[in-house]
Structure 1
Amino acid sequence: MTISESSSDRATTGVPPLLEVRNLVVRYGRTGPAAVDDVSFTIARGETLGLVGESGSGKTTIGRAILGLQPVTSGEIWFDGKDITRASVAERRALQGDLRAVFQDPFSSLNPRRHIGDSLAEPLKVSGVPGPERSVRVDEALASVGLPDGSAERYPRQFSGGQRQRVAIARALVTDPRLVVCDEAVSALDLSTQAQILNLLAELRRGADLGYLFIAHDMAVVEFLAQRILVLNRGRVVEQGTTAEVLGNPQDSYTRVLIAASPVPDPDEQVRRREAWQRLRAEMKAAAAAAPATAVANGLN
């Protein structure tokens, strides 16, 4: 398949979104249930969209589909005005500099037998960047995430968990991308390190016209970084809007559950949130159990 140009969504601004996902459906197996069911959203240049949901909600599957790691059953994925839904291997390779990822476990994504500098230089080498320039860009990327001189010559095991996540961010940014998919990029870190990484991501976004798809289960984390939030439950979008709208006036009970589950530093407020979370969970389970009986009674089943 050849990547094709799109002229849609240019009417108002003259520029297409950086990323547009249209009616995305992903199934595992031909007849299996949809892991992602009719999901649509956009990300503008320089914007962060928080994609929020519990484990199994389908958010990681969406990220993998955007990155070309998961086949799409139906729907479309457009990047910078071009349809990349079923791009070939060669076309994906050409995109790798513009579309990057930071995953949850940086240690598993780094080769323990290679210096950090070699791992960061690999995408530059594939893109045809000359050796001397590769070294300069690797050092610049490591410096941009606050790692000390000489880090390029160290192995992954010689860094702390927070430092390894900084390495992963540097590797994502070394090609000067336009969009980074962050899949639970801070969930494995302690709170103080989380704050450092989130501040770093926000700073790097301000320093470049960089967009993020920030995938997470913690509303408090997403609130810090994202301008807009999309809430996913069982593969479907249940709510979306600006961060202020979604967190200040959530319309869906599932969104309220996620907000109540987010940790806060005040112990008393944490107790209240936990109680609210348990109450909302019980209400949702009761409603789900009653739904089939109600459908039968109304002649809908």
Structure 2
Amino acid sequence: MRGTSWKAVTVVVGLVGAPVLAEDAAAHLPYGVPVPEGQELTAAPEPFNETVHGRALPNTQPQANEVLKGAAARLPERSSRPRPRDPIPDIFPGSGDRGFWVNQGQGIFAANDAQTDLVIPDNAIGTTIYAPTHMPAGNVCVETVTAHWRYTGMATTAHAHGFWDHCGFDGATGWQTFEGMDATWKGKYVRIYDGEERYFTEVYKDGGGCAHGLLYNFTQGLWEEKLTPICGNSGFATGWTMWESHYLMDVAQRCPAFPRVRASGIQVYNAGAWPALTTGNSSQLGPYGLCWTNGTYNFSVAVPNSDWTALTP
């Protein structure tokens, strides 16, 4: 059951100095004000800017990082190869991609469906789905990733969020912070927005060349820094925002039905500002993969190119 809606308000001061509350549909959530579980959002957080918001909240649950469990944790696989630029065979394991290339900026902000009801069926065991996943342009080291996966021996589909390091932190490229979307995680980072359970994430490169990865913590009403900043250049001048799959769209598989996945409000960090992702600073990625090219899955864009939904189907 949903609770009452969370309304953003602006304080207007009259001639006699008395504060008057007025609704402002374009306003962001008031920073530093918690949003209780069960309250539906009608406004999004403002993209994090240290000049405006001060220091981000330190990671509130470092013990939840599955990376720290080492071999005891079963993390989803990631390809170390760059994203393809040309059509590739349907049997390529990472070929199930659809979205946009991000061509400008050094940061990215988005509202993502958590979609913890996504189920990978028995006939698709071995599948990994990263959706939505966002990588900034500008040689930024960090990608922010929603992960759904099910491998042999797993009775159910697992769901998590992670930050992937493309620069090789401590000599090993891979997950740096990876947290399961359990009740505690959702209680902090997920609220109903536009009718779906959603979370807000941001990655950006600071003036010192270091990448930051953040989630919006609704229990505190603050942006939370989820990893130690990672410095360097990824080699990816072009980033992406997309629905990505691995080992799903080969010719032996059908195209399973999954819940629709949406990313919206996508903005890029450019010269100190956060303009929306548009057709001017992004371009089409894909479709790659059998389920996309045969029309079983489709891609809807509500606001070019900052609001997309993967229709699966």
Structure number having the greater helix percentage: 1
Answer with 1 or 2: which has the greater Rg. 1
Q: Same fold (TM over 0.5)?
A: no
User: TM-score range, shorter-chain basis?
Assistant: under 0.3
The two structures have a TM-score, normalised by structure 2, of: 0.27
The two structures have a TM-score, normalised by structure 1, of: 0.28
Structure number with greater CO (CA < 8 Å, separation at least 6) is 2
Structure number having the greater strand percentage: 2
